[in-house]
Amino acid sequence: MDYGPLGKTSTYLEGYDPSLLFPISRSSARAKVGITGVSDFGQDLWNAYEFSWLNPNGLPISKVLEIRVKHSSAQVVESKSMKLYLNGFAQSNFDEESEVLETVQRDLEVAFDGELSVSFKERVESRSTASQGKLINLDRSSVEIKNFNYSKDSLTVSSTQRVSERLVTNIFRSLCPVTSQPDWASVLIEYTGSKMNHDGLLEYLVSYRNHQAFHETTIERIFADIQSSCSPEELIVYGRFLRRGGIDINPFRSSHDAEPPAFVDWRQ
């Protein structure tokens, strides 16, 4: 599979150029890691913290650009190509802020081949999750971990007791499938159903430590594995990955129509 500029030496050119965007088929990326089905609902949240352009007078304007892409889009955009594309705005003049958003919207709808929205974030979203219910931190477990290669064998339910829980780990790591560089994240799991084995779930999440896949397919696999192994009535899996080059990608997958909760990794 061709990954475009990822893993290659690139020159950061000045000037707006939508041809820098490098789309990758979602179905091909999913097939590469063995995903045959996906959640009914979901989206990928991109935050570009270093986005900038020039006003008509040449004055730099800086904003945090948020991109929300439906998980049903036909393609994803390789992240390094997104950085190269967005960087091109830094020395490009635009008359109005709305013109910038319209330009990005138009280009990305073509690249992703699906529904998306773009907007500017005026302030950092709340880092509080108190209003969303109690969080259970899986990382406080004393379970002994011996396997660091992907396996879902430890994913089980501990009882038939019906519960609703919000679980989080802040020690998640997977690897880039091209460069093998580590991708760090906090992973939030919300479910209603038979009570999951917390130690087994943590063992499962740690088993991704040497697993190579893109953010989107990694979260989709976690969602699919929990569905198949634990059969929850409702399920949300939300990965908050740390940024690279000023951009983070945060896949959200759900069994029902829901918005991503106000959950932000403290490292973001």
Q: Provide the annotated active-site residues.
A: 176, 183
Residue showing tokens 């008359």:
95
- CB distance 29 to 102 below 8 Å: no
By three-state DSSP, how is residue 45 classified?
strand
Amino acid found at 106: R
Q: Which amino acid is at 128?
A: S
* Residue 25 β-bridge partners: 75
DSSP code for 144: P
Cα 175 from Cα 34, distance rounded (Å): 16
Sequence-separated (6 or more) residues with CB below 8 Å from residue 96: none
CA distance 92 to 121: 21
Amino acid making up residue 189: I
